[in-house]
């Protein structure tokens, strides 16, 4: 006779009818609580990371910059993600996670407020997905708009198709999930006929992350091939190089989390980490580029990326005084004094600095007169 192991014993609880016995093992109880603890730690970390990045974005950008489309989308995604994670965290102290309800499957005593909270968390998750896809598309467009016409529109078409498909299936999944919450059952229908919709939504969301990561890496690889180097030169990294490196390297983090969604045995919820990592890492490259350049001119940054020298013109006029010389220097710069180098890289139209064809036209002239005596 094998010795008794109390860690694997099974005990029964009585259902609401007073007769049905529901067997529960100690292993099940331990797994449930350990899993809940790990998810709560993960959610808390995501809330803290999102709040900190939101504060940094708001504090380190002027109001005019925050109101621009790309920064506004990033800020909205961070704020929505904070709300999403807070609502998802409220599941664990709710009646949904109460011992009897969880192990017996009897949710008749769950209050209406907990139902509403779960539906709200499901809806705000859809909002986060939409904002994430919008940010990725906008960032990708700023990268590929200078490509060859054929490749530019091919990449844009694929990006739009993947993003819209991911949003459409996520919306369908949101509807099915909300219906399942109201009926207190597993999403996918009573017989599981629609369970392919959640799986497809998750797969398309992961495919979107993979695609944009690959697209950003193509941009970085093409820059390496063109310039024959990856490390910065003596002048350091330019704003454009910082953005390229950030988008390609940092997007690897969401790719890792997206891949872990196919390993449900792991004690983490990779789905929430995937989108949180995207909304956190996307503003990071832009902020680093802003802080890294400081007051440095954008001329060198743009030249290092596009390999196009800025136009300059100098005139030297000698006066009748043999000891005096008038030197006039006129140069066209790639950006105004005080311009944000990242805004110039993203090429957002501002004050007519971008023509309808998408070519930057710099009309400002700097004139310097020196008299040498």
Residues 285 and 335 in one domain: no
Residues 12 and 154 in one domain: yes
Using the predicted structure, report yes or no on whether residue 188 has a pLDDT greater than 80: no
Give the other-Cβ count within 10 Å of 71's Cβ.
23
Tell me the pLDDT band of 242, cut-offs 50, 70 and 90.
Answer: low
Using the predicted structure, report yes or no on whether residue 126 has a pLDDT greater than 80: yes
Residues 356 and 257 in one domain: no
The dihedral through the CA atoms of 266, 269, 271, 276 has a sign that is: negative
Residues 285 and 309 in one domain: no
Which of 293, 310, 333 is where one domain is finished? 293
CA distance 318 to 41: 75
Residues 139 and 275 in one domain: yes
Examine residue 153 and state whether it is found in any structural domain, yes or no: yes
| Token pair listed for 152 | 């530019």
| Token pair listed for 268 | 């983490």
CA distance 265 to 267: 6
Examine residue 24 and state whether it is found in any structural domain, yes or no: yes
How large is the average pLDDT for residues 255-271? 85
For the ranges 57-71, 78-92, 130-144, 170-184, the one whose mean pLDDT is highest: 78-92
DSSP for 271-313, please give it.
Answer: HHHHHHHHHHHHHHHHHHHHHHHTT--SHHHHHHHH--PPPEE
Q: Give how many domains the chain has, as a whole number.
A: 2
Q: Which carries the bigger pLDDT value, residue 346 or residue 70?
A: 70
Using the predicted structure, report yes or no on whether residue 130 has a pLDDT greater than 50: yes
Helix (DSSP H) and strand (DSSP E) numbers for the chain: 12, 5
Tell me the pLDDT band of 271, cut-offs 50, 70 and 90.
Answer: confident
Q: What is the mean pLDDT of the chain?
A: 76
Using the predicted structure, report yes or no on whether residue 324 has a pLDDT greater than 60: no
Predicted local distance difference test score (pLDDT) of residue 284? 83
Residues 179 and 203 in one domain: yes
Predicted local distance difference test score (pLDDT) of residue 81? 96
CA distance 344 to 333: 12
Predicted local distance difference test score (pLDDT) of residue 297? 34
% pLDDT > 90, the chain: 30
Q: Which carries the bigger pLDDT value, residue 239 or residue 298?
A: 239
| Token pair listed for 339 | 């311009």
Tell me the pLDDT band of 168, cut-offs 50, 70 and 90.
Answer: very high
Give the other-Cβ count within 10 Å of 60's Cβ.
13
Examine residue 60 and state whether it is found in any structural domain, yes or no: yes
| Token pair listed for 228 | 């024959």
Using the predicted structure, report yes or no on whether residue 337 has a pLDDT greater than 80: no
Domain that holds residue 359: 302-372
Predicted local distance difference test score (pLDDT) of residue 244? 67
Predicted local distance difference test score (pLDDT) of residue 239? 62
CB-based contact 220:285 (threshold 8 Å) = no
Cα 211 to its chain centre, rounded Å, is: 13
Using the predicted structure, report yes or no on whether residue 292 has a pLDDT greater than 70: no
Which of 293, 311, 335 is where one domain is finished? 293
Q: Which residue has the tokens 């999930």?
A: 177
Q: Which carries the bigger pLDDT value, residue 186 or residue 134?
A: 134
Q: What would the 3-class secondary structure string for 173-209 be?
A: HHHHHHHHHHCCCCCCCCCCCCCHHHHHHHHHHHHHH
Which of 235, 258, 293 is where one domain is finished? 293
Examine residue 244 and state whether it is found in any structural domain, yes or no: yes
Indicate the range of 39-53, 166-180, 199-213, 288-302 predicted with least confidence: 288-302
How large is the average pLDDT for residues 53-77? 89
- Of 56, 22, 40, which is closest to residue 269 (Cα–Cα)? 40
Examine residue 1 and state whether it is found in any structural domain, yes or no: no
Q: Which residue has the tokens 């331990």?
A: 30
Predicted local distance difference test score (pLDDT) of residue 83? 96
Examine residue 145 and state whether it is found in any structural domain, yes or no: yes
Examine residue 333 and state whether it is found in any structural domain, yes or no: yes
Predicted local distance difference test score (pLDDT) of residue 228? 65
Tell me the pLDDT band of 47, cut-offs 50, 70 and 90.
Answer: very high
DSSP for 12-43, please give it.
Answer: EEE-TTSS-EEEEEHHHHHHHHHHHHHHHHHH
200: domain CATH number is 1.20.1070
CA distance 208 to 217: 14
Predicted local distance difference test score (pLDDT) of residue 167? 95
| Residues 6 or more apart in contact with residue 36 via CB below 8 angstroms | 92, 97
Predicted local distance difference test score (pLDDT) of residue 128? 95
Using the predicted structure, report yes or no on whether residue 316 has a pLDDT greater than 50: no
Residues 153 and 236 in one domain: yes
Residues 258 and 363 in one domain: no
Examine residue 139 and state whether it is found in any structural domain, yes or no: yes
Q: Which carries the bigger pLDDT value, residue 47 or residue 2?
A: 47
Residues 230 and 309 in one domain: no
Predicted local distance difference test score (pLDDT) of residue 319? 46
Tell me the pLDDT band of 82, cut-offs 50, 70 and 90.
Answer: very high
Residues 110 and 221 in one domain: yes
Predicted local distance difference test score (pLDDT) of residue 349? 45
Residues 79 and 179 in one domain: yes
Using the predicted structure, report yes or no on whether residue 129 has a pLDDT greater than 60: yes
Residues 62 and 204 in one domain: yes
CA distance 118 to 116: 5
Model pLDDT for residues 89-121, shown as the tens digit of each residue: 999 999 898 888 888 888 888 899 999 999 999
Task: Decide: helix, strand or coil at residue 368.
Answer: strand
Task: Decide: helix, strand or coil at residue 339.
Answer: coil
- Of 32, 38, 35, 29, which is closest to residue 9 (Cα–Cα)? 29
> Would you call 360 exposed, middle or buried from its count of C-beta atoms within 10 A (0-12, 13-18, 19+)?
middle
């Amino acid at each position: 006779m094998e010795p008794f192991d109390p860690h694997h014993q099974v005990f029964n609880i009585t259902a609401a009818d007073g007769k049905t016995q529901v067997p529960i093992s100690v292993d099940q109880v331990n797994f449930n609580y350990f899993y809940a603890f790990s998810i709560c730690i993960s959610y808390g970390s995501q809330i803290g990371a999102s709040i900190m990045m939101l504060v940094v974005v708001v504090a380190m950008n002027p109001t005019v910059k925050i109101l621009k489309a790309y920064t506004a989308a990033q800020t909205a995604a961070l704020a929505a993600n904070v709300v999403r994670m807070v609502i998802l965290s409220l599941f664990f102290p709710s009646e949904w996670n109460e011992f009897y309800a969880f192990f017996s499957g009897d949710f008749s005593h769950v209050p209406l407020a907990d139902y509403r909270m779960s539906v709200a968390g499901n809806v705000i998750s859809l909002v986060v997905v939409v904002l994430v896809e919008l940010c990725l598309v906008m960032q990708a467009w700023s990268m590929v708009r200078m490509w060859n016409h054929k490749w530019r529109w091919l990449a844009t078409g694929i990006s739009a198709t993947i993003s819209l498909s991911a949003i459409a299936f996520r919306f369908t999944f949101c509807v099915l999930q909300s219906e399942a919450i109201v009926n207190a059952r597993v999403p996918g229908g009573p017989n599981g006929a629609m369970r392919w919709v959640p799986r497809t939504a998750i797969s398309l969301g992961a495919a979107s992350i993979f695609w944009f990561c690959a697209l950003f890496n193509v941009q970085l690889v093409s820059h390496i091939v063109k310039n024959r180097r990856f490390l910065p030169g003596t002048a350091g990294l330019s704003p454009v190089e910082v953005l390229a490196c950030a988008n390609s390297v940092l997007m690897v983090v969401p790719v890792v989390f997206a891949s872990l969604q196919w390993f449900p045995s792991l004690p983490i919820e990779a789905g929430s980490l995937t989108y949180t990592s995207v909304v956190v890492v996307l503003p990071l490259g832009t902020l680093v580029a802003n802080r890294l350049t400081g007051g440095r001119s954008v001329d060198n940054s743009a030249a290092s990326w596009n390999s196009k020298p800025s136009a300059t013109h100098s005139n030297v006029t000698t006066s009748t005084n043999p000891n005096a010389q008038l030197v006039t220097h006129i140069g066209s710069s790639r950006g105004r004094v005080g311009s944000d180098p990242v805004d110039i890289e993203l090429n957002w139209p501002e004050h007519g600095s971008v023509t309808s064809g998408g070519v930057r036209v710099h009309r400002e002239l700097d004139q310097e007169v020196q008299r040498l005596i």
